[in-house]
Amino acid sequence: MTPVQAPAQAAPHTVAQQDPPMRIDLLRIAEWIAPGSRVLDLGCGDGRLLDYLQRTRQVSGAGVELDDEHMIASVRRGVRVIQQNLEEGLALFDDRQFDTVVLSQTLQSMHHTEHILREMARVARYGIVSFPNFGYWPHGWSILRGRMPVNDQMPYQWYDTPNIHLCTLRDFQILAAQLGLRVTHLAAFRGEQEIHWLRGWRSQLAVYRFESPWSGRA
């Protein structure tokens, strides 16, 4: 299925002019994407990342988004987008159709985590994911005090959170190894600060880039 192209009369970037600064994980993701490559952004939201990549790295890309308002915002930016529930998989896309597939701050809300990671590895040579790090040390302190942690990376209360599969950095690395995904890059952040020391304990947000186990196959 061909992604929906923004209509000719749409004025790309009119929304972007009023946008706040890009999230720190999206800026790092953009650094890891080669200029001129093919990119698929899963749960692309309002299309800011793809818009940025198209303007600064000349990528050809498409987004997948379920929310109506976000989809309209993406189209207004000139981003090609498909309205699709990620839980239904990526059957619309061929094997190795893209160079990189992105899933930013959405992995923890997926019901079928292994399935989406396998599908990412199928449709692209590289995958990039970002997610809140449940191993951040204040989370443990909050649990010791009898409360689920709430902060800027996990701002929800236990009864209304969309996060159903929280994990630590180590948890993700173990799952990636089990699925044959070779981690090539890792960045960890606390707020806007990048963390290099004791990242599993001191960071709130993790960003991983991995290579598909099938990337070398003809």
Tell me whether residue 32 is in a domain: yes
Tell me whether residue 11 is in a domain: no
Residue among 1, 130, 19 nearest 77 (CA): 19
Residue among 192, 188, 45 nearest 130 (CA): 188
Using DSSP's 3-state secondary structure scheme, residue 189 falls into strand
The predicted-structure confidence for 11-66, as pLDDT tens digits, reads as follows 445 444 567 788 999 999 999 999 999 999 999 999 999 999 999 999 998 999 99
Separation in Å, CA 13 to CA 18, 79, 104, 182: 9, 10, 21, 35
Tell me whether residue 107 is in a domain: yes
Q: What is the mean pLDDT of residues 88-114?
A: 92
Using DSSP's 3-state secondary structure scheme, residue 52 falls into helix
- How confident is the model at residue 11, as a pLDDT? 44
Domain tally, the chain: 1
Tell me whether residue 3 is in a domain: no
CATH of the domain at 178: 3.40.50.150
User: Do 93 and 123 contact (CB within 8 A), yes or no?
Assistant: yes
The predicted model scores a pTM of 0.86
